[in-house]
Structures are given as C-alpha cells and as structure tokens.
Amino acid sequence: MGALQAVACAIFFGPLASLVVLGLVGFTPLRSRERLIKRVVATGQSAAFVSGVALAVVMVRRYLASGSLEPIDIFHYHFFSFNHHVVEIGLRLDLLNIWFVLMATTLSNIVGVFSQHYLHRDPGFYRFFFLIVLFLNGVLIVFLASSFQALFIGWELVGITSALLISFFTVRRETIDNALHAFWAYRVCDVGLLCGAALLAAHLPADQFALGAGLPRALPGELAYLVPFLFLFSAMGKSAQYPYSSWLPRAMEGPTSSSAIFYGGLSIHAGVYLLLRLRLQYEVPTAMLVATAAVGAISCVYGVLLSQVQSDVKSALAYASLSQVGIMFVEISLGWYYVATIHCIGHAFLRTYQILKCSSIIHQFVAFEDAHQFDAERAKAKFLPLLLPAGALSRGFSIAFDLALRAASGRSLLVMSLERLSRRLQEGEERWISFISGSGRGGGRGGEGS
Amino acid sequence: MARAGHIEDLRQLRSVEEMIERIGSFLPSQGPLRTFVHHNTLHHFEDLEFFEALDEAAGVFAANTAFPETTYQGLCRSGRIDLTDINRVLAEQSLDGAMWLLGASRRKMVRSLMLAAPVPLTAEMLRWRLLEKRYLDRFHPEVSASKAQHIVQSDSRIAESLLRYWLDAYASIVKDWHQEWLHELVDVHELMHSPQDSWTEGDSLRLMWIASIVVAREVLAARPDFGASHRRPAKHTPIEETVNPYLIKFTASFLDAGLAYLTMYDRTRGLLWAFFAHMRNTSAVRPTWLRGDLSRFDGLRACDIIEQILRSRGVPEPEWGQYLLDKALILKGWGGLVRQSELGVSGVATRAELRDFLAVRLMLEELADGYYSRHPHRMPSYGDEDQEFELTRPGLADVDDEATRIRTTAYHLFHAFQLLPCAGSEILGLSAAEREDLVSLACRFDAPERCRVWHQAYEWNLYSRAASAILAVNRERGQKRACEPACQVVCCIDDREESFRRYLEEINEGYETFGTAGFFGVDAEFHSLYERPAPFCPVNVVPTHSIQVTARRGSEGRLLGLQRVKTLQSDVEMFIDSKSRSLVRGWLLALGGIVALVPLSLSTLAPRLMHRVRVYLKRALLNPADESSIVFAEEEGAEDTGRFTLDEMALRVRTLLQTTGLSRHLAPLVVVMGHGSYSTNNPYRSAYDCGACGGRPGRLNPRVFALMANRRDVREKVREQGIEIPEATQFVGAFHNTTTDAVEYFDLDSISSANRKVFEKFRADVEVARAQNALERCRRFDDAEVSTVSQAIAHVESRAHHIAQPRPEYGHATNAICVVGRREITKGLFLDRRAFLVSYDKAADPETAALRNLLRAVIPVCMGINLEYFFSALDNQRYGAGTKLPHNVTSLLGLMTGYCSDLRTGLPAQMIEIHEATRLLVIIEQEPDKILELLSREPELDRVVKNRWVVVMAYRAEANELFLFDHTQAFVKLEGAIGGLRSVASSLDWVVGKKEHLEFVRIGRAT
C-alpha cells in the first residue's frame, strides 16, 4: 500500500508544493519572471496528472481483478474537537473521484499551457497563475475530500478564486460589480454546505466517504430532510442553477482561459459532484429527489432558451453550460450515476474547448458561408421557425430576451447593499484610525514637524 | 481651412436630422471584424492641424493627448529623445537660444521645466521628498560642483532687506496650510544671520525653495489649471448606466449576423420598429423598469421622438447637438457600428439607423427615469463617483485644492531651477517685469504643451535618424549599377516585406525587389469555387470587373471532392458549435464530449503537429491553386461583361511596370508576390492581411497579374504603348504568408525550361530568406527562445497555429516611415521592418501623373495604418480595444470586453505593445516644387499633409538632399552634418539577440 499511497500523495501535494513555492516567490522580485512561474506551475500540475493517470490504471486493474476496491487514503488529520464533537479532515481516492481528479488535472494542465501563452506579458501574470494553482488545490480538495467537512474547505477556495479571477481586470467598474455579484451568489449558497457539514460533523463524526457495501447510509431522523436540501441549495449556487443563474454569464469578465476552466470545466461541475457524493453516501428523501429534478429541468429549459437568444459567444456558452448541468441534476435524481459522471466529464472537456476557442467563431462562420456559397439559404435554414407560427416565435424571443435582460440589467440590490455595508465599515475604520492617531481629519495629520 | 472646432459647428445646426448626421461622423468607423481595414481613428478631425485635432478629440472622447510626461522623461534618459530634438521643436515655437534671464535662454528654461518632475504632491509626500530624501540638503546630481559653489557664493551675498521681504511673503503663503514643518524647514533666523562664509548648500536650496513657492503662486494666479489634469473622465448617470445593458443586448441582437439561433422576428423594418414591437410584446418576466408607458411615442418618426424628449427635458435648443453627442458617445462603439450599417457596410445582416438608436436610448432613459422617480430607493448607487478604476497617470493627476497645486508647482519649479541651474537669490532678485516674463513662459508650457513638445521631439528623433541614414547610405554609394538582375520580385509595399526583401537582396545580389500596392492593379471581384465572391482591392475602389476561378480541365472531380471535404469539416464544426447549445443534441454531444480532449490537447500542446498533419492531408489530396484556372475575357464569350478586356489588361500591366520602374529592364523571371496571414482563434486575423486587398489575403491578385502579363496578346498591346516585354521574361504569381513566412507559387507549369533553373535557384534562396526573416521577427517576441533559422521557422509556424496565441505576429507594429522612390535609395539600408517601401520611378514620370495616382492610394492607406496604431498606442482604453484577453465576440461583428460592454474598436493592447507612436514620415523621391504642385491638385492629400497628419520629405537623388515640409508649409532643405552610418556585415549579425528598436545601419561595406 505504501507505494500506492505515495503516488496518491503526489496528486495533492504536487500542486500544493507549487502553490507554496509560488507564494514564496511572490514576496521576491522573481515574481516578474514568467519562465520561473511557468516551470513551478507546470511541475506541480504535471506531477498531479501523471500520478493520477498511474493510479487510475492501477485502481481499475485491481477493481477488475477483485471486484471491489478499498479507498486509498492520502492523509487523515484530526483537525480539532470540542465537547464530543470531532472534526477530522482527510483526503482519499476511490473509484468515483479518481475520474474527477483525472478530469481536473488534465484540464488544469491544458489550460495551464494555454495560459502561459495567452497571458504572456500581462502585468497580472503572476497573480493569474497563483490564483489558478490555488483554484486547482481547491478543486482537488473538493474532489478528494473524505468528508463533507473537508470538502467545504475546497469549496470555499474555489469560490474565492473564482471571484478574484472574474475581477482580474480591475480597469472597468463593471468587472468588479460582476465579480461581487458572483461572490454574493456563492456566499449565500455556501451557507447550505457549511450548515450541512456542521450538522453532519455533530451527528456523524468520522463518517468517511466510501462506495459500495452498506451505502447509502440512512441519516439520523432530524437530519434526513435538512441536510440533503441544504446541500442541494449549495450545489445550485455553485452550478448556477435557476434561480441562481444570473451570475454565470456575468462571470465571463476574466481572461478567456480562466472563464474556460471555471465555467466550462471544473467549478461549474462542483455542484454535480457534491450531489453525486451525497446520493452515494446517504439516503435522501424522495422530496429532495423531486426537487433536484425540478431544479435541473427548469434550469435546463431556462439555459437552453437563453442560450439561443444570446448574441455574444461567451454568454451563449455560459447559458449552454448551465443547461447541461441541469440535465446532470436530473440524471442524478434518477439515479443514473454512470451517465451523470460520463456526461459531466464529457461536458467539461467539450465546453472548455469551446470557450478556449470562442474567438475563432467569426472565421468559423466565414468558412461555413464560403463552403455553402451556393446553398446559403438551405444551410442556414432553421427548423424551429418553420414549425412555429410567427406570433409564437416573436413571443418566445421576447420572453427569452426579457429573461436574459433581467439577468443582465442593473446592479443587484444585494451587491448594492453589500457595498453600502463595506463603505460604512471603511468610514468606521477611518474614524477609528483618526481616533487612535489622535488627530482630526484633514491636513493636520502630517504635522509632527521635523 | 476650417479652424473652428467641430463642437462649435454642432451648435450651428438646427434640425435633429442634421445633428445626427454630424454626430455619426464622430463615432468610430470600424466595420465588421471579418474584414478589418485600418483607418485613421480620428478621420473626422483631419481638417484640423494634428495637435489641435488631438486636443479637440481628447475633449470629445475624454482621451489622452500624449503619454504621461514621465514616460518621455524616461525616453530622454534612455537616449531615445535627445536635447537637440527638443531644441529643434522649441525653435519652431520661436524659442531661441539667446540669453534671457537667470543666465539662461528661454529655450533652456522650458527644457528644464520639461525635464523636472511634475509630481502631484500631498503634504506628506512633499515632506518625505524634501526632508527624508534630503532634497533640501543637496543639489540635484546634475548640478556640477563648480556651479553649486557659484550658486552658494552668489546666494550668500543676498541683501538682507530682500531676504526679509521674501521670507515674509513665503510665510504668508504657507501659513494657512497648517504645515508647521514648512515654516520650520526655512529657519528664518539662521538664514538671516548666517555669515557669508558659513552659507551652505542647504541654505541655498532653502532660498530656492522659497523662490519656487513664490513663483508657483504667481504661475497659478495666471493659469489656475497649471499642473491639473486636462482629461475630464466621462461620468455616466445611474439612469444611463441602467439603460446600457438593454441597449447593448438589443442592438447586438438586432445586428446579429448569425450567432444567436433565435433572433428578432422581423428586423427589416428598422431598429425603432423592432423596439416598439418588443415593447408591445409584454411578458411577465420583463424587468420592472421597462414596463412603463411609451404610447405617446407611437407612430412618431425617430427624430420627432428625440425632439419631443429633448423639449420635455428642457434642454436649450443650441445645446441639443452637444447633448445628443454625449448620449451617442456613451456607447460609441455600438453607435459606430449602427452608423456603419446605416452606410451599408458589407457583412452586417440588417440595417439599423443611428437616429433610431438614439431615439431608443432616450426612450429607455425616460422609462428608467420614470421608474426611479417612483422608486427612488432602487436607484443604483455607484459608490464614490469620483473614483475611477484606472491606473493613475503620474503627472496628469487631478490636483484639486490650491495648497496642493502650489506645492506641486513649486516642487516642479524647484527641480527645474536646479536643472537650469540658477541661484535662489537670482530669482528673488528679478524685477517685477522680469518675473512676469518668467511666469508667463512657465504658464505657456503647462503639462499638455510640454507633452506636445516632448512628443514632437520624440518623433523628430526618429525622423532625423531616418533622414540621415538615407543621406549617408546614398552619399557613400557608388554609381555603378550592379550586375544584370537574374530575377525581379514585386512585393506589396507592406512594412513587413521590408525585411523579406532585404534578405533576398542580401542572399543574391542579382535579385531586384520592387514594392507596389498588393492588389497589383487587379481591382476585381473574385468568384471561386471555394470562397464567396469578394472584392480583392482597396476599400475605396469599387470593382467593376469580376474574375472567375474555375476547375482546370480534368480536375473538376478532384476540386469538387476537396470542396466536399471542406464543407463537411465546416458543417461538423458548426453542428457541434450550435447544437451543443441545444437540449437533446447538446446532451448527446456532451455525453461523447470526451472526444473533444483530442483537439483540445493537440491544439494547445502540439499546434505545429496539427498543422503538419493538415498540410500532409492537403498535399495528399490536392492543392486547390494547382487545380484551378482563371478565366479571362475571350475564352468564354467576348460579350460577357465584367471581365477584363484586352485593353484593360494591357493598361494594368503597363501601369505597374512603368510606375515601379520595372519597365527599364526586365529580368527573365519576375515574381509577383502578394501577402496575407494565417492565425487561428484570432478575431483580428483580417487586420494582418493585405490592406490593399481590402483586408483579405492577396493570394489571387498576383496570380491573375502574372497570367495577364504572360499573355502574348497583352504583351503585344503593351508594346504598342511603348513598353517592351522581352520574349524570355516570364511572370510568376506567389504568395507570402507573413505569419508563418511560408511562400507558395502558382501556375508553375507555364515556366519555360530556360527559366526553370533560375526559378529553382530563386525558390531555394527564398527558403533561406524566409527563415532569416523569421529569425529577425522572432527577436521581437519576448517568449521566443530561438537562436537558429530552423528554430525560427518552427517558432513562427507554431505561433500561427496556436489557439492560445494572442500575438501570432506583430503586424504593422513599429511602422513609421514610407519611402516612395526607387529601391536604390534604400537598398542596403537596415530599416528594421519599419518602412513601407513604394517603388516609384521618377524618370518615367515627368508629368507626375503616376505619382499622383500612387500617392492618392499610398498616403491614405499607409497613414490609416500608421494612425490607427498611433492612437491605439496613445490611449489604448479609449482609442484602442484594451487587452485582448477578456474579449468576447458578439453578433459575429465585433468584440466586447467581458460580458456586456461597449463594442471595442481600434487595436488591442497586444498588437501595439511594441509600437512607437509616431506619425508617418513619407519620403518622396521627387522635386519639392513638383510635389507642392501635385498637392495643390489633390485637396484630400493637401489637407493631411498641410495639417501634418503625415510628415513629408522630398528627396533629390542628384544632390543627395532631403527637404522637409515643415511648419511654415514649405519645403526646407535639411541642414546639418550627416552623421556616419554604422556598417554591419549582414542583417542577422545586427538583429540576433536584440529585442529593442534598432538603429538604421548599412548592410555590407560601403562601396
């Protein structure tokens, strides 16, 4: 087991090591050395990828040979305990999350290479890669966690890096607004996971994720309803399901490569993984399944409809992403775990690719029109407009357009109130500082003489 | 010449229609991105003098008029700007070197002001600098020891009454600032009673500080805005901000050329109609602010709606134009696109009108206004209105309160006086009239004016280097003509071909190169099997001819097969792209999405491998160029209109041969080489293509030209007109890809056996030249780790095919010069890929008719390229498109930054990062008076030359003289010694391993 565990450790500690090195580099003038940053990032990411692939091969062979597989513990750590409550943090690999880990490391490697070229000479080169590696660590914690308490840590890292990368270009105010919008959506929904994980820690301490025999376990009476719904709530936020969808298109403010890995690849699917884990681990009430399916179905229709009326490519892809994630929610509620996993991984690759190359859409259309110069009408013909009466079509467009506008228009009230709150805090702080420095406001502060 | 500002013009207009027409011309005139044609960003201001236009445009667009002063100072330190350059510019402003005040000339005073640091200072910052950094204890390092001693001595003799008077003045200025240290720092008692022999540097500097504060106050009394920012950032009201997302999304949907699956039902009746239709189609999910009543506008024309709203808002009638302009500028990119569609630019699916766009904006604002007046608490707040999320611009920051302004100005003067250098006692001892003189000079050279001088000096530095390089290289050139040319190459005038031509000539002295507009006079629309019909000629030329590209006899089947493969590939891509956004098919595609890993990883990890596979497959199938043939007039029915007649073909061939000077002596092989570029995942791809071909790759034009010139009947006609094309001479069409540096040739089977050998040699030499060219280009790419030519080729190829590459090539960046004349005058000169080279044979054109035609095309095109780069570099946020990284293709027409923003026009940061913003220097080999005479007959050219949007020089080869068309609107001979020109053995020796802009040098030894 020793060797296997060592390899498994590389998956997590590789990226962690590059994060630490990057963090240290950040304090030195070396942070402007692109080649150094590239090396550090690539080393950690490829270590994770290579060991992930190796482990996957070994695990699958073992599973095929024996028909079952013990999870591989990466580490297990007694975090703290008070009264009778124990909080333990652990990471472990099993036959479910190895696929997600493979997906995460593959995508982060590819997007890493992409970004090396894409962000070359950008003043935020270091910041970008620091955040991307931090994000990868977060995602790996989410996927590798052995309990919901550990998962929460990764969940938060994913959220904060997401918001910071949306606001990567601080020149425009809208960028900051939209990052705040996404951050707000995350924070609200994170409450679900936090409460759920705390409840579980209180009632089922040391209950680790596992697959197979004896699962899913029944939750103790009072938690049976509460925890699954809390988790669903949290998953909806992270995966931008209706009605928490409006942040997703707004999140397309960062560099294309971070948009791709977050909202095409990994972050958007974190909710799917959470629900998969939940269903494999604990029994959930039918009502929650119905609710999951309903949320998924509504989001799916909503996303498809809005995606069809978007006239900019990134919004269109964002809405398309959330519609597919909606289908995954339905699949999970139906118990189609294999389908959901394959769907999730396939979708992540496809969508990441699409977002990465979304700038080529103009020339793709030009090529299409060139190819169909003699049958342009036929090539562009659409079925839907032929089937529906004109009135219905314009009505449909109106509704979809209004929905899109609702998501786009203005600043959300919550962002505004958040801002008001922070302004109050800032004023308070200023008052406090002028109080402790013992001087009034204004020019007098520098008056100590020489 | 219209001197009145455009904004004043706007006030004269009475009808809304006229106003909107006028406003439209302020908006960016960039069309759909699929064909990007460079143009002067401030085209509308061309009737103003260049710097006046910059000022006026800065007022309209809230943009910069220059770089921050610190940037220029940095350039001065690095030697990019010389003191002699500054002197020259100041001399133009009639500031001479005659002795004036304080032991210096006016010119020196201004120069000191320019070199000193105008840093906006808070009290704390000032204190830090003066006390902690001890600027009050030591002279500036540029003040020499003897000077310092002199100053100390003369200060020590200051009269006590004078000192007392100024100390009081100083105390009265600083007393209200509550900065005790400012009093303390000038220890009055000590200063007054320090004996002459113990007077120190510090005492002198304190005296100078007092003088600076005193002068600063007088400067600010005369020019209250001295040192303040002149850029007023546009601020939008919450109502305007509320309206923007709607207007952006609605206009984008309306103009959408096919990105959305579901579009507006009827877009043919205009934007206004569609807006009303949408408003009538109420839905429960509509945002509440949009639900107001608009019935009072029903059935009105756009202009009536605008008029009605303007009246109801109480805007005074003379202000209407300005008011509407401000409204249009909020989303100037979108407004500009609407305007372009109104003018009928190709590539937009529907036609929208600017008046509708503005009417919709005003109506939406009415809705938002009504809503917020009912629900005031829902009015969005935007935090600190003053706070702009923008990098601060040192030197131009807003300085609001008077104390800070005086401090800032005083610190600036304090620094300047030391650079002069002069003594504080001298300043304090000036008479009132003299001080007034000093103050008025300082006032005249406020920050914008200083930056203007800086910028002109920055430009002049380059111009003078280019001029002296050309003079030097021609002075030492022998008169003997090189050997008979073995082969001649006609390239595009493009600055990127400069290095390619240079390498060809370096490799083989028997090669002669020429430059002419890359459409080679073939102004035609091409109809081919594999592309939609498109005009391959400059945008201002309307092609009256069409050329059919059909399958060669016997290869119809293969070409059709290729066509099918291409169609299939395109269909699959489109299917995946559009259907992955749908429900059921999207689900199925996502289930099989793991397959996407293959293209995803290949295109990022091994782009060149993918390219190789593609090339291999293509070669295995066939090359469409080899399989197609071009149809001319007589071959299929002579009466077929639109095809070139014999006379027309002969005219084009003759014009090109004569203008370029090719007709003097034709080599057996003449290669006509067009150019284009290939890059992937790059919305700006078309900007790298040939501008003379209308932003398209010039692949067919050279081929057609070669076929024309090879025709026996055409040659017959040309001979009748006096130009003999030797029997043995053959023309070959070729195409140079400026991104990958690949060269392909067309219709090779027509080369005679006699020429075959020459051609094979030429082809082998091109292989070397292109690799060397690639190596020279690689020096500019920061991330290229390349030291050999083969690595260079590999590198540029992978750049072209990498989906993550934001700068597949640098395009026209660094362009600065345009030489119209024989290649002989620039041959052997390393011009660092910065020059457009236009071949023009003065001897064959005594009437300057050919020059007139040439300049009519060359100046607008090259100036358009140059100025687009200029303005995008000057203010990348406002004139340019910002960074490419968060760009978002919208409506298949343009780009937004991020999720929902104004349409970005101009060039992105990645394209201009190595560009030097200088106006184009056009050097014409022709007599100055002939050029003047020519300009008088061409008002369009006259305007841009006289207003100095381009800087023109005339070159006289006989005497090796250059004449500058200067600010006195006349040609003046460039005087001054011609510096020696450094010689290097070969271009590669000079360029390899260097990243920066390089000096112009001679290649090879002087003959």
pLDDT digits (tens, 9 = 90+) for A273-317: 999 999 999 999 999 999 999 999 999 999 999 999 999 999 999
* Residue A394 falls inside a structural domain: no
pLDDT number for residue B634: 53
Decide if A410 touches B, using CB distance below 8 A.
yes
Decide if A378 touches B, using CB distance below 8 A.
no
Q: How far apart are CA A138 and CA A132, in angstroms?
A: 10
* Residue A177 falls inside a structural domain: yes
Q: Would you tell me the crossing angle of helices A2-25 and A125-144 to the nearest 10 degrees?
A: 150
Provide the chain B residues 118-177 that lie in CB contact (below 8 A) with chain A.
Answer: 122-124, 127, 131, 177
- Clarify whether residues A432 and A317 are in a common domain: no
- Clarify whether residues A132 and A264 are in a common domain: yes
DSSP secondary-structure letter at A446?
G
Q: End of a domain among A324, A346, A361?
A: A361
- Clarify whether residues A330 and A434 are in a common domain: no
The closest of A122, A120, A140 to A14, measured between CA atoms, is: A140
pLDDT number for residue B46: 94
CB B121 within 8 A of CB B133: no
* Residue A63 falls inside a structural domain: no
pLDDT number for residue B621: 67
Decide if A78 touches B, using CB distance below 8 A.
no
CB B897 within 8 A of CB B528: no
For residue A397, give the nearest of B123, B262, B603 by CB distance: B262
Give the residue from chain B lying closest to A302, CA to CA: B583
Put simply, the answer to whether B581 touches A308 (Cβ < 8 Å) is yes
Q: Which of B567, B600, B876 best probes binding to A when mutated, by most A CB atoms within 10 angstroms?
A: B600
Dump pLDDT digits (tens) for A98-131: 999 999 999 999 999 999 999 999 999 999 999 9
| The two three-digit tokens of residue B639, written as one number | 């009466």
Q: How far apart are CA B17 and CA B22, in angstroms?
A: 9
Put simply, the answer to whether B289 touches A409 (Cβ < 8 Å) is yes
Query: If you search the block for the tokens 């390498």, which residue do you land on?
Result: B503
Decide if A423 touches B, using CB distance below 8 A.
yes
* Residue A397 falls inside a structural domain: no
pLDDT number for residue A244: 87
Residue A210 has pLDDT above 90, yes or no: no
- Clarify whether residues A202 and A321 are in a common domain: yes
The closest of A116, A362, A244 to B607, measured between CA atoms, is: A116
Query: If you search the block for the tokens 């950008």, which residue do you land on?
Result: A122
Report strand pairing: B511-516 vs B534-535. Answer: unpaired
The closest of B704, B694, B744 to B522, measured between CA atoms, is: B704
In Å, the largest CA–CA distance within chain B is 107
- Clarify whether residues A318 and A425 are in a common domain: no
| The two three-digit tokens of residue A220, written as one number | 């103790």
- Clarify whether residues A227 and A112 are in a common domain: yes
Q: How far apart are CA A82 and CA B601, in angstroms?
A: 49
pLDDT number for residue B393: 38
pLDDT number for residue A264: 93
DSSP secondary-structure letter at B902?
P
B840 phi and psi, to 5 degrees? -145, 130
For residue A402, give the nearest of B285, B680, B685 by CB distance: B285
Cα dihedral B882→B886→B888→B894 (10° resolution): 10
For residue B256, give the nearest of A120, A311, A357 by CB distance: A311
CB B484 within 8 A of CB B969: no
Q: Which of A268, A321, A353, A373 best probes binding to B when mutated, by most B CB atoms within 10 angstroms?
A: A353
Q: How far apart are CA B185 and CA B178, in angstroms?
A: 14
Distance from CA of A200 to the nearest CA of B (A): 34
The closest of B46, B39, B6, B52 to B325, measured between CA atoms, is: B6
Decide if A387 touches B, using CB distance below 8 A.
no
For residue A443, give the nearest of B123, B592, B804 by CB distance: B123
B460 to each of A249, A412, B84, B361, B943, how far by Cα in Å?
Answer: 48, 52, 10, 45, 21
B874 phi and psi, to 5 degrees? -65, -45
CB B220 within 8 A of CB B409: yes
Number of neighbours of residue B268 by Cβ within 10 angstroms? 9
Give the residue from chain B lying closest to A419, CA to CA: B383
Q: End of a domain among A361, A394, A427?
A: A361
* Residue A403 falls inside a structural domain: no
Return the percentage of chain A with pLDDT > 90, whole number.
Answer: 64
- Clarify whether residues A424 and A331 are in a common domain: no
Q: Which of B527, B604, B903 best probes binding to A when mutated, by most A CB atoms within 10 angstroms?
A: B604
For residue B265, give the nearest of A327, A390, A413 by CB distance: A390
- Clarify whether residues A347 and A219 are in a common domain: yes
For residue B259, give the nearest of A170, A313, A363 by CB distance: A313
pLDDT number for residue B852: 94
Residue A447 binned pLDDT confidence (cut-offs 50, 70, 90): very low
Q: How far apart are CA A418 and CA A412, in angstroms?
A: 10
- Clarify whether residues A185 and A282 are in a common domain: yes
Q: Would you tell me the crossing angle of helices A2-25 and A34-66 to the nearest 10 degrees?
A: 160
Residues (pLDDT < 50) of chain B are: 1-4, 384-398, 637-638, 1007
* Residue A172 falls inside a structural domain: yes
Distance from CA of A212 to the nearest CA of B (A): 25
Decide if B575 touches A, using CB distance below 8 A.
no
Q: What 3-state DSSP class applies to B631?
A: strand
Contacts of B249 in chain A (CB under 8 A): 311, 401, 404-405, 408
Put simply, the answer to whether A172 touches B389 (Cβ < 8 Å) is yes
Put simply, the answer to whether A308 touches B262 (Cβ < 8 Å) is yes
Q: Which of A311, A375, A412 best probes binding to B when mutated, by most B CB atoms within 10 angstroms?
A: A311
- Clarify whether residues A436 and A336 are in a common domain: no
Decide if A249 touches B, using CB distance below 8 A.
yes
| The two three-digit tokens of residue B146, written as one number | 């003897």
Decide if B681 touches A, using CB distance below 8 A.
yes
Count helices and strands in chain A by DSSP H and E runs: 18, 2
CA B824 and chain centroid, separation:
29
Cβ burial of B639 (10 Å; 0-12, 13-18, 19+) is: exposed
Put simply, the answer to whether A174 touches B277 (Cβ < 8 Å) is no
* Residue A171 falls inside a structural domain: yes
Decide if B890 touches A, using CB distance below 8 A.
yes
pLDDT number for residue A346: 97
Q: How far apart are CA A366 and CA A412, in angstroms?
A: 38
Residues 6+ apart with CB under 8 A from B87: B97, B107, B111
Decide if B887 touches A, using CB distance below 8 A.
yes
Q: End of a domain among A361, A391, A424?
A: A361
Distance from CA of B618 to the nearest CA of A (A): 16
For residue A349, give the nearest of B278, B594, B782 by CB distance: B594
- Clarify whether residues A424 and A341 are in a common domain: no
Q: What is the count of structural domains for chain A?
A: 2
Cβ burial of A148 (10 Å; 0-12, 13-18, 19+) is: buried
Interface contacts (A, B; CB < 8 Å):
344
Q: How far apart are CA A100 and CA A140, in angstroms?
A: 9
Put simply, the answer to whether A117 touches B877 (Cβ < 8 Å) is no
Decide if A246 touches B, using CB distance below 8 A.
no
Put simply, the answer to whether A172 touches B883 (Cβ < 8 Å) is no
* Residue A399 falls inside a structural domain: no
pLDDT number for residue B241: 85
Q: List the domain range (segments joined by +) for residue A243.
A: 74-361
